[in-house]
Each structure stands twice: as C-alpha cells, then as structure tokens.
A and B are shown apart, each in its own frame.
Chain A
Amino acid sequence: MGDRRTVIPFGPQHPVLPEPIQLKLVLEDEKVVEALPQIGYIHRGLERLVKVRDFNQMVFVAERICGICSFQHAMSYCLSIERLMNIEVPERADYLRVIWSELHRVHSHLLWLGLMADAFGFEAMFMETWKIREAVVDMMEATAGSRVIISTCQVGGVRRDIAPELLQQIVKLADDVQRRVKAIEHSVLNDYTIKKRTVDKGVISKEQAWKLGAAGPVLRASGVKWDARMIGYAGYKYLNFEPVVETAGDCYARTKVRFREMFVALDLLRQAVAKIPAGEINVKVKGNPEGEAFIQVEQPRGEVTYTVKGNGTKNLEKMHVRTPTFANIPAFLTMLPGCELADVPVLALTIDPCISCTER
C-alpha cells in the first residue's frame, strides 16, 4: 500500500496556540509518530540590543521578553547585574520583589489553567479562571499602575513602594483568590472529562525528565524536587515554602502541580506581607558592570538562567537568557510520539509553552 504516513502542519496560526510555533506532525492514521518543531516566528534578536541600550535601559527590554512573567524577567536581569556589580539590595526591595513575583505566578497559573480548559473545550472553566485572574491583575495595577508589564524593577532595587494599606489589600486578595480557587478545585481535579483527557497522557518518567533537562512544573510533576526558589534569591531566603512535587509525570500531574503551586504562591504572599521590614527600596548604582555573572530564577514555567558579561562600559558585552520553555521542548517532543492527534493541543499546553520567551 506504500506510505501510510501523513504530515499535518500544526500552527503557526492555530486556535489553541496564542503564539506562533509550527509543529510538523507525522501521523500514522490518528497516531503521532514524529513531531518536528519549526521555530523562528517570534525571534526578535533582543539580546543584541545590549549593544545599543545601556544596562539600566535593558531592564525594560528584558521585561518585554515575555509579557506573562515580565516582572520575573526584569528581576532576573537586575539580580544578575547586581551580582556582577556587587550591589547589596535593601531588604524591603527584596520583599517587594517577592510580592510582585508571586502575584505574577498566581496570574500566570490561572491564565494557564484557563487556556488548558479552553484546549479541551471547557469554555466555562476558561471564563471562571480568567475572572479570578482579573482580581490579581487589578492588584498589579493598584500597586504598579499597569496591568501586565509593570516596570517596577530596577538595578539596585525597585522603583515603587507599596503602601501599608495596599499590603493589607494584598493579604485580602490572597484570601479571596484562595477561596475562589478552592471552589473550582473539585471541578478541575476530580472531573471525569478532565481526567479522561489528562491521566496517563504524555508520561515523562523521573529519569527522562532529568535527562532531557526539563524545568519547572514539568520536572516537578515527574517527581524531581527542584525549584530554583530553594536557592534563596531575592526575598525567598527569608521565607518558608515547600516545592510542590507529584510523581506520575502525566498531564494530570502537571495540572495538579500548577494548581497546588498557586496555594504556595498565595502563602508566600501572606508571609512576605507579614514579614516585610520598613526602609529604603533602592540603592544608588555607581560605575559600570564588569566581569561575568550567572543567575537562576524560578519563573511560573520553570527555571530561567541569565548570563551577563560586562566590559566596563555602560553597554554590556553579552547577555544570554535560557528560558524554561526552551528547556521543556525536548520533553514535549518526547511526549508526542504515540499520542493521538486530538491530544496534541492538551500536551502542548501542559508544558505551558511561552514561545516569545523561547525565541526572544
């Protein structure tokens, strides 16, 4: 009968993908045999901008690598420059960074849960999670003046302070979000349809996840207890938390990890507000960066690493970002062979792809 294989292009413009990436899916009937990713649709080449923008201006560029975890990108960049220049950031700034980071984590996970629900046609859940997310985004606007790209981080600290009344509002928000997320917990984690679509789908074993260099929730859902926040950058050294780990390594486990991580993030918010000291929020930065520095930061999607190299001028010599989705693509491509075509969108979403991070 000859070749029974069909090649189906998935993307770049596809209803479940908010971003353009193309997967060439080689199918045998309904089964995926091979997946070939085609990337480059979002490549901007922003790492080269270090040649024209000075190291303070680069914060804004780093922030716009990804609009979903924007604060964490800005923070990672600032942390790496601060390590390079040996800048001691005031304690209050460390705490404020934690607060904004965790707000971003909660909004990112809610956003992901909505997109995931949308991928298997659970429209009501999409609306519900995004409704909860609006409250978090509103808090971002109240504290920073902008909804998604908040531009509050700068080298040497943060640009804005959060007033004590607003900090209390954040605690209230955390309780409110916790209550509303708890309310949908049953319909997400115990739903027959969701279980049918996710349990035993796209299994990645612990060894595979480690070997393929997976990051973040994908790694933790396979049973590896690794979260870059354990290193204790920014204010995390003052706070207690336990990384969420699951062992099954399937789509359901990844959903569970992200779901429970929201509660951890909300708890961190409460802890940070309870412990935040008074004081300065930034220090003056003198001189130009020289030498090389490396930093690991846990983003909602996993671990990001920043490597920066300065040459004593106001422009950096080199900046390199390795983002979590980039690390998760090998794991994703391992999941695909053997799955049904209809499961591809769900599998794609369980790694929480952020293509604009990956291609920069």
Chain B
Amino acid sequence: MGLINNSRAKSPWVVHFDCGSCNGCDIEVLACLTPLYDIERFGILNIGNPKHADVLLVTGTVNPRNERVLRNVYEQIPEPKVVVAIGACACTGGVFADCYNVIQGVDKIIPVDVYVPGCAARPEAIIDGVVLGLQKFQEKVEKMNKKAVGN
C-alpha cells in the first residue's frame, strides 16, 4: 500500500474540463505544461481520459447544458479524487454571475476541494492550487486506507 499511496501523491494525473470558460484560464492551464512552468517535473501529467486521472481541473462557468457532462467526467474519475476550480468563473460565476445561463460556481454541481482565484488565474496560482489539492488528496487516501483496514 505504501508504494501505491506514495506514487499516487507524487505523480498525480490531471484531467482538464472546460465548462464554459473564455479560454483565458484554459490557456494558462496549458501554459503550465510548457517549458517555462513545466509541471511535468513534479510528476503531474495532463491526460485526456478521466478514468486515468486523480485531479480534475475545472475552468469556466457551469450551465444547465454542460453540468451533465461535468458530472459525467467527475464520476468517471476513480476514487480518491480532488477537484480544483480554476478562475473566478469556476469559483463563483465571476463577471458572468448575472447571466441567465450561468450557474454560480462549480461547487453547486460537484464537490470542490480547492478554489484558485484570478481572472485569468495565473499559472503559478494554478500550480499552487494543484499542490494544495494534493495535500487534500493525501488525506483522502489515508481516510480510504483506514476504512479498508476497519473492514
């Protein structure tokens, strides 16, 4: 178990889902992967398949049309998992909070562990958010282990 837990927390794979973002946060998420920020040096890998992922990065506003997709992606990620809401829109709806087709925040749909502020969120902030998420991830792993031992 030790080895598995260690590799889980040391090499989290992230999947990125854009709900209804203006692309500002998305390009910053992608910028994290590129040579200047290079999150791969922390073992963080961006992948397309939610079934391989540990961390879900959500950007943008949720609306009634994409909430089903968001929930679907969230449910496909195996436990334990961490959700990071990136940018003002994902946290609260941001500048679009008053629009008729906007749900004010991702946390209305799925549980969120870390909120990254900013419009657009800076790559440093996103990396910080993911690292904070990893601490939560570790806690969740431990909780799961206790449960498994208890059984």
A interface residues with partner B (beta carbon < 8 Å): 12-15, 18-20, 40-46, 48-49, 52, 60-61, 64-68, 70, 111, 114, 126-127, 130-131, 134, 137, 146-149, 354, 356, 359
Contact = CB atoms under 8 A, between A and B. Distances in A.
A24 B143 CA distance: 42
Contact of B99 (A13, A45, A130, A356): A45
A341 B120 CA distance: 34
Interface string B1-41: 00000000000000001111111111110110011100000
A146 B18 CA distance: 21
B23 A354 contact: yes
Nearest 6 CB-CB pairings of A with B: A67-B24, A15-B48, A130-B34, A67-B23, A42-B20, A67-B22
Given A40-B65, A130-B31, A70 B22 contact: yes
B48 A14 contact: yes
A64 B24 CA distance: 8
Contacts of A65: 22
Contacts of A60: 95
Given A13-B73, A64-B119, A356-B21, A148 B66 contact: no
A134 B34 CA distance: 9
Given A20-B19, A45-B99, 19 more contacts: A20-B17, A20-B66, A41-B65, A42-B18, A42-B21, A44-B61, A44-B63, A48-B100, A64-B24, A67-B23, A70-B24, A127-B35, A130-B30, A131-B35, A131-B36, A134-B36, A147-B122, A148-B120, A356-B60
Contact of A42 (B31, B66, B100): B66
A359 B96 CA distance: 14
A43 B18 CA distance: 12
B69 A61 contact: no
A333 B73 CA distance: 27
A356 B20 contact: yes
A18 B99 contact: no
A49 B99 contact: yes
A13 B17 contact: yes
A149 B65 contact: no
B133 interface: no
Contacts of B21: 19, 42, 67, 356
Interface residue SS majority, chain A: loop
A60 B119 CA distance: 11
Most B Cβ at <10 Å: residue of A146, A354, A356: A356
Given A12-B66, A46-B99, A20 B27 contact: no
Interface string B82-99: 000000000000111011
B50 interface: yes
Interface of B: 17-28, 30-31, 34-36, 47-50, 60-61, 63, 65-66, 69, 73, 94-96, 98-102, 119-120, 122
Contacts of A64: 22, 24, 94-96, 119
B35 A45 contact: no
A134 B31 contact: yes
Contact of A130 (B35, B47, B48): B35
A61 B102 CA distance: 14
Contact of B25 (A44, A67, A354): A67
B26 A149 contact: no
A19 B122 contact: no
Contact of B100 (A45, A61, A127, A146): A45
A61 B98 CA distance: 11
B101 A149 contact: no
A20 B18 CA distance: 7
A111 B99 contact: no
18 contacts: A15-B49, A19-B26, A41-B19, A41-B20, A41-B69, A43-B20, A43-B63, A43-B101, A44-B63, A45-B99, A48-B100, A64-B22, A64-B94, A134-B36, A148-B120, A354-B23, A356-B21, A356-B60
Contacts of A49: 96, 98-99
B119 A52 contact: no
Given A19-B23, A65-B22, A149 B31 contact: no
| Candidate in A14, A134, A148, A359 with the most chain B CB atoms within 10 angstroms | A148
Contacts of B23: 18-19, 66-68, 354, 356
A65 B94 CA distance: 13
Contact of A356 (B22, B36, B95): B22
Contact of A13 (B36, B50, B61, B96): B50
Nearest to A151: B119
Nearest to A51: B98
B81 to A, nearest CB: 16
B27 A111 contact: yes
Contacts of A52: 98
